């Protein structure tokens, strides 16, 4: 019954999202040695925030593919735990590695629909080369949580590190945590992104969908190190 509730919850969220984000394309361009996200043929959402989605080609939402994707791993904590145990013991089979990598790719492509900045950041960490990344997003600066932080720290030029609970604002919490705010005329949020090392068994990301909770240890992403992935970088989030 719980898994059915989660399945229905995911379906509803994705149907809502499919009305907002259709035929989305994003490209990366160099800008004075930095990588910047430039929107191209992007549909804006009802709040007029820029929807920056980490997809390089035109893409139409396919609910069948989504609901048969590796994202459903989040419904099975026992399976996550089994993968992590085998990862720690270095005994993952080839098909298991491919499944885990597929999960992270689905998290980028489909999870990025709901949390676009988080999807971009995750993609840059796994597949990027360590260059600084700039994202333009009005959402962060219109967030009441960010406004409250600025109000409490009025007069400070640098605020942070700021650690939040994911459920305070999932779109921000899944993207950055332990971030700083440069509280000047051209305000920006920034953080150096680096996931936990392979031997760190304390760091994890909690997920909750319709009351079903899952815990994803950060170190599992290190499976991409065998593909020369997982390079730390600085993320800067600025106003559109």
d(CA 182, CA 220): 32
Alpha helices for 89-227 (secondary structure H): 94-109, 111-114, 116-127, 138-142, 144-152, 170-173
62 or 200, which is more confident: 200
pLDDT on residue 19: 33
Q: Note the pLDDT tens digit of each residue in 65-109.
A: 666 677 777 878 999 999 999 999 999 999 999 999 999 998 898
pLDDT on residue 79: 93
Closest CA to 27 of 47, 5, 53, 60: 53
Averaged pLDDT, 210-225: 88
54 or 140, which is more confident: 140
Q: Does residue 2 have a pLDDT over 60?
A: no
Closest CA to 34 of 138, 160, 128, 175: 128
d(CA 127, CA 190): 20
Q: Note the pLDDT tens digit of each residue in 4-56.
A: 444 444 444 443 333 333 333 333 333 343 333 333 333 233 233 333 333 33
Q: Note the pLDDT tens digit of each residue in 177-200.
A: 999 999 998 899 999 999 999 999
């Amino acid at each position: 019954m719980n898994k059915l509730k989660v399945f229905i919850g995911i379906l509803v969220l994705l149907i809502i999202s499919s009305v907002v984000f259709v035929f989305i394309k994003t490209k990366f361009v160099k800008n004075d040695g930095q990588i910047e996200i430039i929107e191209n043929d992007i549909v804006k959402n009802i709040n007029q925030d820029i929807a920056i989605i980490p997809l390089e080609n035109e893409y139409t939402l396919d609910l069948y593919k989504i609901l048969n994707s590796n994202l459903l791993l989040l419904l099975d904590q026992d399976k996550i735990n089994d993968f992590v145990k085998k990862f720690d013991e270095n005994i993952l089979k080839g098909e298991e590695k491919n499944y885990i990598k597929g999960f992270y790719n689905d998290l980028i492509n489909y999870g990025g629909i709901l949390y676009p900045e988080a999807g971009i950041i995750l993609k840059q960490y796994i597949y990027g080369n360590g260059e600084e990344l700039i994202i333009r997003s009005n959402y962060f600066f219109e967030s009441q949580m960010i406004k409250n932080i600025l109000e409490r720290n009025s007069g400070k030029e640098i605020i942070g590190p700021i650690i939040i609970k994911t459920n305070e604002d999932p779109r921000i919490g899944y993207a950055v945590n332990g971030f700083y705010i440069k509280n000047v005329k051209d305000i920006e949020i920034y953080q150096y992104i680096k996931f936990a090392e392979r031997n760190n068994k304390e760091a994890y990301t909690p997920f909750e969908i319709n009351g079903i909770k899952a815990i994803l240890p950060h170190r599992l992403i290190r499976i991409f190190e065998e593909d020369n992935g997982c390079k730390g970088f600085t993320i800067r989030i600025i106003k559109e």
